[in-house]
Amino acid sequence: MKIKDRKAVSFHYTLKNSQGEQIESSRDRDNPMTYLHGAGNIIPGLEKAMSGKAAGDQFEVTVEPAEAYGERDESGFQRVPAKHFGEGRRLQPGQLVTLNTQQGPRQVTVVKVGRFNVDVDTNHPLAGQSLTFDVEVTDVREATDEEVSHGHVHGPGGVEH
Ligand code: ZN
């Protein structure tokens, strides 16, 4: 069965940045990643590369920033009052923290910690990077009507609700 819209797909992957450093790997966990094809569950460049593949296929794909987590936005640096991070939190540069913004919770990277203010980078940590995925498709099945209407996969590796 080939991967196309309305298929539920499971795959293992190892993700490396343009310096060849491993960022993460589903192989470190027991379960592969599962997603609904055509629903924007994964980054666009990877979803495109998955199209037409079948269970057992292995491939490597490099995805440019525009098809991954976007280009870096240099206006993404912001100075935030330290109190927004909660009392007594010890922040370290490079740390990822969740900040409650008017647009909802957002993951930011701590750049500099001052006494009253914290400088953060609101860019996604992988913004501006070309990403290489080493992929092995482990399973392809028909998605259920319910999964298609929810826009995600249910069960192991998917959303449990
Ligand atoms: Zn659901």
- Could you tell me the CATH number of the domain that includes residue 13? 3.10.50.40
17 and 41 together in one domain: yes
14 and 58 together in one domain: yes
Q: Residue 79 belongs to what H/E stretch?
A: strand 77-81
Residue 132 falls within a domain, yes or no? Answer: yes
Per-residue model confidence (pLDDT) at position 88: 64
Give distance in angstroms: CA of 33 to centre of ligand 1: 16
60 and 11 together in one domain: yes
For residue 106, what are the domain limits?
74-121
18 and 65 together in one domain: yes
User: Which residues fall inside 5 Å of ion ligand 1, going by CB?
Assistant: 150, 159
Per-residue model confidence (pLDDT) at position 50: 98
Residue 145 falls within a domain, yes or no? Answer: yes
Give distance in angstroms: CA of 20 to centre of ligand 1: 35
Number of H helices, E strands in the chain: 2, 9
Per-residue model confidence (pLDDT) at position 87: 64
CB count within 10 Å of CB 118 equals: 24
90 and 117 together in one domain: yes
13 and 65 together in one domain: yes
pLDDT along the chain (161 residues), means of 10: 98 95 92 95 97 98 96 90 78 88 84 92 91 98 97 90 90
Per-residue model confidence (pLDDT) at position 15: 97
Beta partners for residue 36, in sequence order? 8
Give distance in angstroms: CA of 140 to centre of ligand 1: 18
Per-residue model confidence (pLDDT) at position 27: 93
Residue 1 falls within a domain, yes or no? Answer: no
144 and 115 together in one domain: no
Give distance in angstroms: CA of 6 to centre of ligand 1: 14
31 and 109 together in one domain: no
Per-residue model confidence (pLDDT) at position 106: 82
60 and 131 together in one domain: yes
98-127 confidence digits (pLDDT tens): 887 777 888 899 999 998 999 999 998 899
Per-residue model confidence (pLDDT) at position 107: 85
25 and 57 together in one domain: yes
d(CA 52, CA 152): 19
32 and 110 together in one domain: no
d(CA 70, CA 51): 21
Number of domains in the chain: 2
Residue 160 falls within a domain, yes or no? Answer: no
